[in-house]
Amino acid sequence: MEFTAEQIAKLLQGKVEGDKNIVVNCFSKIEEGKSGSLSFLANPKYTNYIYETEASIVLVNNDFVGQKEITSTLIRVEDSYKAIAQLLEIYNSITEKPSGIEKNVFIHKKAKTGKNIYVGAFAYIGKDAQIGDNVQIYPGVYVGNGVKIGDNSVIYPGVKIYYNTIIGKDCTIHAGSVIGADGFGFAPNGNEAFVKIAQIGNVVIEDNVEIGALVTIDRATLGSTIIRKGVKLDNHNHIAHNVEIGQNTVIAAQSGIAGTAKIGENCMFGGQVGIGPHVKIANGTKMSAQSGIANNIKKEDSILMGAPAFDIRDYHRSYIHFKNLDKIVKRLDELERQLGKK
């Protein structure tokens, strides 16, 4: 597929500077730009590449001011990062999608399937499962008994969805994720051994949720583990039993949320964040990578860092002393030595 600068500018309500008829047929990073590609400049750290890139078209913000000659055609937009995201979504929507039901698929006779679905080879759809319209289920997916998948959702290869899980509309679950496995529930029996507690709840994933590859979301002991609409989970996250994650919260890779924790709306967690059991996190909380939370966060829009985590400004001030701790101890030792001589 090929597009001219003029066509792209119309889609983005942008303004062309340069050759409006120049054609592109692919995307590229600005530092790897080549002729015939479209790139973008959003991060000021990459500004120097705009003078070197061979990309035919570069999206820039309206307030961008060049300091040297630029050979690429520019398209000025309000926000180049949002504009490239919009273009990528348009491109993705018009690329050919798989359709139909391939060979070697098992669909239980009591399962219900919607219109225009795709089911890849060696997929399994269990009894009383309900698959909505335009759903894509890639090869090797397991859909257990009583699972519900809403319209337009995409389930990538190797995903395992345990019984009675509910998945909303417009969701994406990437390869290898496991939804609805048993929660980690065991009780000591007094003989230095543990007895398994039956996990009879389920997982509920609301609309427009995206779950990365190799994510595990455990079913509830009782009730539901709930992922509210708009949540985005990066690869390798673990969500334990009876957790609830509020709307539009985003969690980066390798984070772990312990059982029954309640995460508010519009939170942002960096990679490898750990949340303890039964903890409640207020709306809008932001946590730096590798932060650890063992107690409730009551103040909304807090920004935290460290393990245990505390206010990021206090952390930065304290870190100056952390780095100098060895010098501080030596100074104290020297003072004590001098005072001991007196």
| CATH number, position 239 | 2.160.10.10
Average pLDDT over residues 111-120: 97
Domain range spanning residue 65?
Answer: 3-94
Would you list the DSSP string of 190-227? SSS-EEEPP---EEEE-TT-EE-TT-EEEPPSSSEEEE
* Single residue among 67, 94, 121 that ends a domain in this structure: 94
Q: For the chain, how many structural domains are there in total?
A: 2
- Summarised one tens digit per residue, pLDDT across range 302-313 is 999 888 888 888
- Summarised one tens digit per residue, pLDDT across range 13-30 is 999 999 999 999 999 999
Distance of alpha carbon 154 from the chain centroid: 15
Separation between Cα atoms, residue 285 and residue 303, nearest integer Å: 6
- Do 126 and 206 have their domain in common? yes
- Do 70 and 157 have their domain in common? no
- Summarised one tens digit per residue, pLDDT across range 128-165 is 999 999 999 999 999 999 999 999 999 999 999 999 99
- Do 71 and 87 have their domain in common? yes
| 333 is a domain residue | no
- The per-residue pLDDT for 41 is 96
- Do 213 and 292 have their domain in common? yes
Higher pLDDT, 193 or 247: 247
- Strands (DSSP E) contained in 71-149 are 73-77, 100-101, 106-107, 112-113, 118-119, 124-125, 130-131, 136-137, 142-143, 148-149
For Cα atoms 144, 150, 152, give the angle at the middle one, nearest 5 degrees.
120
- Do 21 and 122 have their domain in common? no
Higher pLDDT, 316 or 291: 291
- The per-residue pLDDT for 325 is 85
Q: What is the pTM of this model?
A: 0.84
pLDDT above 70 for 342: no
Contact 74, 16 (CB under 8 A): yes
Separation between Cα atoms, residue 23 and residue 8, nearest integer Å: 10
At 18, which CATH number? Answer: 3.40.1390.10
Question: What's the chain's average pLDDT?
Answer: 94
- Do 162 and 302 have their domain in common? yes
- Do 61 and 168 have their domain in common? no
| 340 is a domain residue | no
- Do 40 and 143 have their domain in common? no
| 321 is a domain residue | no
- Do 273 and 310 have their domain in common? yes
Q: Which residues are catalytic?
A: 241
| 331 is a domain residue | no
- Do 285 and 175 have their domain in common? yes
